[in-house]
């Protein structure tokens, strides 16, 4: 069986990239494609795997300004030629779902979310400092992107959503139903520690929609220690508003992240996430989460057993939740057991069972080769031959 996995782009290491890595790992020797892939930003399991990329890989200043090229990604994804493949799995929060396949292929999209910057542009623009020219031009470009995204949403034969919240968005924006399979959590990577230190933790990319500013302001107000691990374009703004109790450590090694995760008081999770893997990783380390009551966090946090919620994305609301949290005791064994319910083996079994139900996998034994899949629910035109893979 010829299998391809197509991911939007490997320009950063985040939850979506971990999911793509696990999909590749559990399948028998799939070809891997991505619009852009930087070798030093690949998940560890894909570092030595050939990645087929597009002409966008060689655009000037792409490494630092890949977000500014958003209008070109639809053209780039259409340049992939995947007619040789029986099964195509796209890992998409943006463009990969728009990849064109042949009439005999089955295309399954693992959707992390419908395109956030297209369908949530009003919220995005409200938080960003946009100049007059951007405020004039961006809405028009976003409308064109929405039109393309809606058309691209018809390409997959099946959708898999990473949460019920994302399945709801897929239904709202695309009119498609989706199977819900939660992302895999590498539970074995984390271990509870007997040592507890007096700090709260943020573990995230520093971008505005994650609302790290709420955590920074709350801990500054309460004079609680906050350790922020992560890098991103919002760092300078966050550092400017932070008090003396807030420390920014940037991007750390896996071992350093595991150290801080197992010894913190709790993870602060102030954004509305599509799923949010960090609360479950923290739970695997035996520590709870204080989260905004929205999005995927509702599906992964058990109130007063694995974490507490706050109801408004405001520093005062989070500060109140921190004070409530500090009055409670937390059982590391309960937290760990909860995280194990989202482990890699659970993800593999659910995903391969789904493929089996749609006729694309004979069993859930990942060590056995798949049978040839010939199930197709839509007819597409022939688009040519498979592109040569190159190493990112």
**pLDDT, tens digit, for every residue of 328-356?**
999 999 999 999 999 999 999 999 999 99
Has residue 369 got a pLDDT over 50?
no
Calpha distance 99→118 (Å, rounded): 18
Q: Domain 187-340 maps to which CATH number in 1.20.1730.10, 1.10.3720.10, 1.10.10.10, 3.40.50.2000?
A: 3.40.50.2000
The mean pLDDT value for 1-16 works out to 92
Res 67: pLDDT: 84
pTM metric for this prediction? 0.82
Domain ranges in the chain are 3-184+343-357, 187-340
Percent of the chain's residues with pLDDT above 70? 88
Has residue 371 got a pLDDT over 60?
no
Q: Are 265 and 329 in contact (CB under 8 A)?
A: no
Res 392: pLDDT: 29
Res 336: pLDDT: 96
Structure tokens of 346?
């659970």
Q: Are 114 and 29 in contact (CB under 8 A)?
A: no
How many of the other CB atoms lie within 10 Å of CB of 38?
18
Res 64: pLDDT: 85
Calpha distance 322→359 (Å, rounded): 49
Same fold, 3-184+343-357 and 187-340: yes
Q: What's the pLDDT band for 135 if we cut at 50, 70, 90?
A: low
**Which positions ≥6 away from 275 have C-beta within 8 Å?**
15, 112, 162, 163, 165, 166, 182, 183, 295, 296, 299, 300
Q: Smallest Cα–Cα separation from 3: which of 366, 392, 380?
A: 366
SS3 147: helix
Q: Smallest Cα–Cα separation from 380: which of 33, 165, 85?
A: 85
What tens digit of pLDDT does each residue of 282-316 get?
A: 999 999 999 999 998 999 999 999 999 999 999 99
- What is the CATH class of 3-184+343-357? alpha beta
Percent of the chain's residues with pLDDT above 90? 73
Q: What's the pLDDT band for 14 if we cut at 50, 70, 90?
A: confident
Res 116: pLDDT: 81
Res 379: pLDDT: 30
Average pLDDT, the chain: 88
Res 68: pLDDT: 84
Please list, residue by residue across 260-293, b when 16 or more beta carbons sit within 10 angstroms of its beta carbon and e when fewer do.
bbbbbbbbbbbbbbbbbbbbbbbbbbbbbbbbbb
Res 59: pLDDT: 95
């Amino acid at each position: 069986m010829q299998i391809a996995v197509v991911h939007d782009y490997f320009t950063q290491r985040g939850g979506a990239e971990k999911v793509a890595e696990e999909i590749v790992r559990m399948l028998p020797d799939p070809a891997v494609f991505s619009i852009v892939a930087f070798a030093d930003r690949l998940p560890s399991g894909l570092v030595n795997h050939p990645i087929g990329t597009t002409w966008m890989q060689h655009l000037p200043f792409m490494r630092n300004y890949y977000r500014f090229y958003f209008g070109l990604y639809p053209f780039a994804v259409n340049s992939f030629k995947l007619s040789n493949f029986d099964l195509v799995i796209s890992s998409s929060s943006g463009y990969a779902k728009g990849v064109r396949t042949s009439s005999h292929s089955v295309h399954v999209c693992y959707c992390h979310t419908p395109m956030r910057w297209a369908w949530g542009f009003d919220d995005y623009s409200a938080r960003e400092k946009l100049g007059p020219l951007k405020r004039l031009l961006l809405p028009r470009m976003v409308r064109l992107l929405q039109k393309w995204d809606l058309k691209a949403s018809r390409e997959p034969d099946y959708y898999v959503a990473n949460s019920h919240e994302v399945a709801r968005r897929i239904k709202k924006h695309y009119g498609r139903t989706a199977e819900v399979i939660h992302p895999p959590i590498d539970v074995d990577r984390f271990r509870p520690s007997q040592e507890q230190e007096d700090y709260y933790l943020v573990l995230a990319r520093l971008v505005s929609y994650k609302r790290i500013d709420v955590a920074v302001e709350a801990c500054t107000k309460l004079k609680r220690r906050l350790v922020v691990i992560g890098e991103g374009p919002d760092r300078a703004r966050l550092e400017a508003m932070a008090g003396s109790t807030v420390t920014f450590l940037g991007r750390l090694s896996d071992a350093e992240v595991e150290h801080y995760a197992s010894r913190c008081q709790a993870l602060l999770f102030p954004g509305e996430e599509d799923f949010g893997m960090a609360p479950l990783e923290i739970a695997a380390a035996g520590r709870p989460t204080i989260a905004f009551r929205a999005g995927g966090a509702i599906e992964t946090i058990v109130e007063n057993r694995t974490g507490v919620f706050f109801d408004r994305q405001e520093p005062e609301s989070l500060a109140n939740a921190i004070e409530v949290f500090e009055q409670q005791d937390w059982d590391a064994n309960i937290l760990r057991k909860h995280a194990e319910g989202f482990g890699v083996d659970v993800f593999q079994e659910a995903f391969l069972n789904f493929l089996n139900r749609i006729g694309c996998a004979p069993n859930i034994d990942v060590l056995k080769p798949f049978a040839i899949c010939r199930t197709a629910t839509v007819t597409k035109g022939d688009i040519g031959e498979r592109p040569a893979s190159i190493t990112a």
